[in-house]
């Protein structure tokens, strides 16, 4: 298929800003935070130079950025913002509010470690700690995928069966500030793919006045939460369908809720997300050259979590190596926890080795992934799998303490 559009060499943040422009978002409330800043700078310049028709609200905090996005979406227009780390955490209260209001707001989250100490580098703890806010979360491996996924996720989020907000999560600096070739689709093609947003459920409108969000007593509340859960689950199939539709129109496919690489004949499968997944592709090739049949399952959607897909791919394998860039203190990696949940109560549930690494921007290369995979396979085959999770790339003196700790499974 011929790919229309123009090629540009841009950063992940530029890709996110261009996606917001192509999606014709109408209101962008923004508050700067490293490493998200250039997204909101690009959007400001698009608007002020007349290349983008939108209202830009220079709010005084991320809490207000999300609150203003909520107001705009509730009034019936497509809204977009971007943040990272502490900014996302400050938003937390209103993240819940956006989802509970069933407003399909779009947000780029440039993943960054949380303080203290201050650290501006990649780490998934910011977004993963917001797991239960009711936001769809997709983790990204390339700048092209950033642009394409924002367009696709508006389509998913605004579907009448979903109506939940979404985060597209891109690794701080690794994608946000790194230049890659990106195909910029034509505006008319995007307009065809993603028509103007018109709320199918409710909006603030004096012509049709309703009260939204007043007290709901125990007799009413639980069904409202259930409906969010149902929509989240229904989003899974839609993510696949929209990815297919995007492929048909634009000729690019980045996976649906997951992306699979050389899994068909694999004995062992590496599971990871974000840019570690693109390193893992290289690692899989290396390991296969050494004669190990290894495949990669990249988790794109962390919410909704593709439990069935994950179980189908991992069932009956000799082992699974899960690499997380976030620590759920005392429980391991957030993806590790989810994958265990996917595999419990099924037959042929494989052994799992979960590694926590790469925190606060500690580099994780394909060589590291090769090492972790070999270490994991070694533990599985020699019956040395004693811990629910392992820290990888701790400094030796800390590694010593870690390994001397009594294991309490």
Partner 1 sequence: MTLTIHDLRKESGSYLPGSAACPGCGATLAFRIASRVLGPNTVYVVPASCFSVIQSPFPKSAISAPLYNIAFPAAAATASGVYRAYKMLGRDVNVVVWAGDGGTVDIGIQALSGAAERGENIIYVCYDNEAYMNTGIQRSGATPFRAWTKTTPTGKREMPKDMPMIVAAHRVPYVATASVGYPFDLANKFEKAKKIKGFRYIHIFSTCPPGWNSPVSKTAEVAKLAVDTYFWPLYEIENGKLRITVKPRKRPLKEFLELQDRFRGLSDEEIEELEKIVMEKWNFLLHLEKSERVF
Residues that bind partner 1 (CB under 8 A): 26-27, 29, 53-55, 57-61, 63-65, 67-77, 79, 93-94, 97, 204-206, 208-217, 220
Nearest to 35 by CA among 180, 176, 178: 176
Distance CA 329, CA 111 (A): 18
CB of 125 to partner 1, least distance (A): 23
Distance CA 51, CA 328 (A): 43
C-alpha distance from residue 337 to each of 11, 114, 328, 329 (Å): 32, 21, 9, 12
Q: What is the number of other CB atoms lying within 10 angstroms of the CB of residue 158?
A: 21
> 286: which residues sit within 8 A by CB, 6+ positions away?
366, 370
* 301-303/136-139 β-pairing: antiparallel
CB of 57 to partner 1, least distance (A): 6
Q: What is the number of other CB atoms lying within 10 angstroms of the CB of residue 272?
A: 30
CB of 214 to partner 1, least distance (A): 5
CB of 320 to partner 1, least distance (A): 40
DSSP characters for 45-99? Answer: HHHHTTSS--EEEE-SSHHHHHHHHHHHHHTTS-BEEEE-HHHHHHHHHHHHHHH
User: Which C-beta is closer to partner 1: that of 74 or that of 147?
Assistant: 74
User: Which C-beta is closer to partner 1: that of 27 or that of 108?
Assistant: 27
Distance CA 354, CA 270 (A): 10
CB of 75 to partner 1, least distance (A): 4
User: Which C-beta is closer to partner 1: that of 58 or that of 308?
Assistant: 58
User: Which C-beta is closer to partner 1: that of 213 or that of 291?
Assistant: 213
Angle between helices 85-100 and 218-250 (to 10 degrees): 110
User: Which C-beta is closer to partner 1: that of 9 or that of 216?
Assistant: 216
Give the containing element (helix H, strand E) for 390: strand 390-391
The torsion region of residue 60 among left (phi > 0), alpha (psi -120 to 50) and beta comes to alpha
CB of 114 to partner 1, least distance (A): 20
User: Which C-beta is closer to partner 1: that of 59 or that of 114?
Assistant: 59
User: Which C-beta is closer to partner 1: that of 27 or that of 323?
Assistant: 27
User: Which C-beta is closer to partner 1: that of 26 or that of 300?
Assistant: 26
CB of 213 to partner 1, least distance (A): 3
The DSSP letter of residue 328 is B
Output the CA torsion 299→358→41→193 (10° steps).
-10
Contact by Cβ (8 Å): 356, 332:
yes
User: Which C-beta is closer to partner 1: that of 120 or that of 163?
Assistant: 163
CB of 83 to partner 1, least distance (A): 14
CB of 184 to partner 1, least distance (A): 24
């Amino acid at each position: 298929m011929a790919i229309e559009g123009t090629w540009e060499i841009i950063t992940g943040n530029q890709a996110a800003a261009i996606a917001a422009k192509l999606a014709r978002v109408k209101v962008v409330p923004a508050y700067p935070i490293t490493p998200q800043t250039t997204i909101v700078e690009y959007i400001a310049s698009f608007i002020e130079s007349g290349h983008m028709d939108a209202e830009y609200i220079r709010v005084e905090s991320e809490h207000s950025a999300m609150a203003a996005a909520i107001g705009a979406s509730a009034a019936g227009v497509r809204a977009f913002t971007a943040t990272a780390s502490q900014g996302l955490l400050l938003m937390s209260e209103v993240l819940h509010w956006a989802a509970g209001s069933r407003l399909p707001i779009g947000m780029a989250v440039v993943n960054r470690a949380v303080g203290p100490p201050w650290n501006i580098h990649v780490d998934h703890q910011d977004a993963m700690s917001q797991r239960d806010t009711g936001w769809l979360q997709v983790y990204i491996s390339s700048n092209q995928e950033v642009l394409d996924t924002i367009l696709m996720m508006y389509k998913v989020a605004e579907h009448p069966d979903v109506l939940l907000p979404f985060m597209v999560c891109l690794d701080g600096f690794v994608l946000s500030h790194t230049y890659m070739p990106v195909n910029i689709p034509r505006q008319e093609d995007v307009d065809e793919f993603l028509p103007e947003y018109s709320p199918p459920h409710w909006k603030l409108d004096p012509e049709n006045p309703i009260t939204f969000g007043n007290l709901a007593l125990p007799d009413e509340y639980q069904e409202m939460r259930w409906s969010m859960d149902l929509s989240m689950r229904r989003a899974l199939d839609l993510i696949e369908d929209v990815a297919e539709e995007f492929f048909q129109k634009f000729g690019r496919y980045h996976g649906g809720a997951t992306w699979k690489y050389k899994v068909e004949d694999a004995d062992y499968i590496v599971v990871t997300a974000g840019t570690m997944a693109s390193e893992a592709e290289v690692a899989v090739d290396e390991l296969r050259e050494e004669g190990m049949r290894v495949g990669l399952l990249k988790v794109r959607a962390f919410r909704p979590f593709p439990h069935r897909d994950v179980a189908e791919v991992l069932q009956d394998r000799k082992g699974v190596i899960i690499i997380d860039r976030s620590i759920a203190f005392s429980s391991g990696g957030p993806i590790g926890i989810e994958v265990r949940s996917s595999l419990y109560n099924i037959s042929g549930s494989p052994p799992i080795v979960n590694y926590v690494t790469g925190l606060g921007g500690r580099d994780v290369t394909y060589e590291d992934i090769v090492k972790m995979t070999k270490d994991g396979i070694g533990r599985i085959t020699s019956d040395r799998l004693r811990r629910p999770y392992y820290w990888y790339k701790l400094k030796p003196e800390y590694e010593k303490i870690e390994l001397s700790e009594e294991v309490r499974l």
